[in-house]
């Protein structure tokens, strides 16, 4: 996992399909964050690749997440097979001629991330009705079906507008960009706010070192983001967490549930700070640094109520009067 903002999903479409186990292990060692699986049926797109049996066979070969991009006409018919194969996210196309909601719902019910992809000629507004059902928007910057195509700059501009689909969910939504991503285009899409860059042909081009290409793409995407969104400062690393509250465990757990219900992950860790009357220190509530400001501002009233409740609980616990067994923090 990198220390910056941008992440690379390595597409294996143009790799050695006869030795995919070696390919995914090599990509993991080189620093790829995910494996991007381009599934094509020869009908929705004029090409045929691999299916769930191949993916299932690959699943034990790496611990990297599998992002399946189903460029197929009937994803609803086959989605359970891709779930069973071990895909961590499954993205289907909004242009298909079958109901989309049931497939997205099945993906989410299985605990996987559902996504929608749109071709270069498809308007972003077609995703609006599905915004609450998806965790991924995949912006195609080439026509789907073949690797190695020319990057379509005009289509990439949808990335910036796509962020609005997740405006109410600062952590759970991701914008993927797929098609023609390399060292020449990474800075541009990073500057538009892409979260996940799907990189394929550039990794396997003759004379290219996979690890170096991945590092270059990430660094250039972060540089684009820094100058377009962050006043020239490096973007906040995705893996850095910050404390927004320090509370007794039973009160902290309640606040964590409130925050996580709004799509912001929270980690609770026992702190080195205040010792409570029950002999147990406060727990720190940590959120990703990238949403620290949002979490502090959005949940100010809830944090203040939790802190007031904690003060009352400490005072009651320390008092010689009353039944302490009622005031003691829930150990669970």
| Residue of 33, 135, 178, 282 with catalytic role | 178
Long-range Cβ pairs for the range 43-52 (8 Å, 24+): 43/72, 43/73, 44/71, 44/72, 44/73, 44/93, 44/96, 44/144, 45/71, 45/144, 45/145, 46/145, 47/145, 47/146, 49/13, 50/17, 51/78, 51/81, 52/78, 52/81, 52/82, 52/84, 52/85
Residues sharing a CB contact under 8 Å with residue 94, sequence separation 6 or more, in sequence order: 100, 116, 117, 118, 122, 126, 127, 130
Name beta bridge partners: 66.
Answer: 35
> How many other C-beta atoms can be found within 10 angstroms of the C-beta atom of residue 324?
14
> What are the strands, taking DSSP E only, across the chain?
7-11, 34-40, 66-71, 89-93, 113-118, 136-140, 174-178, 196-199, 241-247, 267-275, 281-288
Residues sharing a CB contact under 8 Å with residue 166, sequence separation 6 or more, in sequence order: 131, 137, 172, 173, 174, 175
Residue 38 among the catalytic residues: yes
Name beta bridge partners: 36.
Answer: 11, 67
d(CA 113, CA 176): 13
| Residue of 33, 38, 135, 282 with catalytic role | 38
d(CA 138, CA 136): 6
Judged by phi (left if over 0) then psi (alpha if -120 to 50, else beta), residue 158 lies in: alpha
Active site residues: 38, 178
């Amino acid at each position: 996992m990198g220390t910056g903002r941008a992440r690379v999903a390595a597409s294996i479409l143009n790799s050695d399909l006869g030795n995919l186990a070696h390919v995914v292990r090599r990509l993991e060692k080189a620093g790829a964050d995910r494996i991007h699986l381009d599934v094509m049926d020869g009908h929705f797109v004029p090409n045929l690749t691999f299916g769930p049996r191949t993916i299932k066979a690959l699943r034990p070969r790496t611990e990297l997440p599998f992002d399946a991009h189903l460029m197929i006409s009937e994803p609803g018919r086959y989605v359970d097979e891709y779930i069973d194969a071990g895909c961590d996210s499954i993205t289907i196309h909004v242009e298909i001629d079958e109901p989309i909601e049931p497939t997205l719902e099945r993906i989410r019910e299985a605990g996987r991330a559902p996504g929608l992809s749109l071709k270069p000629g498809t308007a972003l507004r077609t995703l609006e009705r599905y915004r609450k059902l998806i965790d991924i928007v995949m912006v195609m910057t080439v026509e789907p079906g073949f690797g190695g195509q020319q990057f379509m700059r005009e289509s990439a501009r949808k990335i910036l507008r796509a962020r609005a689909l997740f405006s109410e969910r600062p952590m759970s939504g991701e914008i993927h960009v797929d098609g023609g991503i390399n060292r020449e285009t990474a800075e541009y899409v990073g500057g538009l706010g892409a979260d996940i860059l799907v990189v394929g042909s550039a990794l396997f081009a003759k004379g290219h070192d996979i690890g170096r290409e991945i590092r270059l793409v990430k660094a250039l995407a972060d540089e684009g983001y820094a100058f377009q969104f962050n006043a020239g400062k490096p973007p906040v690393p995705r893996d850095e967490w910050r404390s927004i509250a320090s509370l007794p465990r039973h009160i902290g757990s309640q606040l964590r549930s409130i925050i996580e219900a709004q799509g912001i992950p929270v980690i609770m860790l026992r702190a080195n700070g205040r010792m409570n009357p029950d002999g147990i220190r406060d727990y720190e509530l940590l959120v990703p640094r990238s949403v620290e400001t949002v979490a502090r501002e959005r949940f100010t009233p809830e944090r203040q109520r939790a802190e007031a409740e904690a003060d009352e609980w400490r005072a009651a616990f320390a008092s010689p009067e009353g039944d302490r067994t009622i005031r003691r923090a829930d150990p669970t």
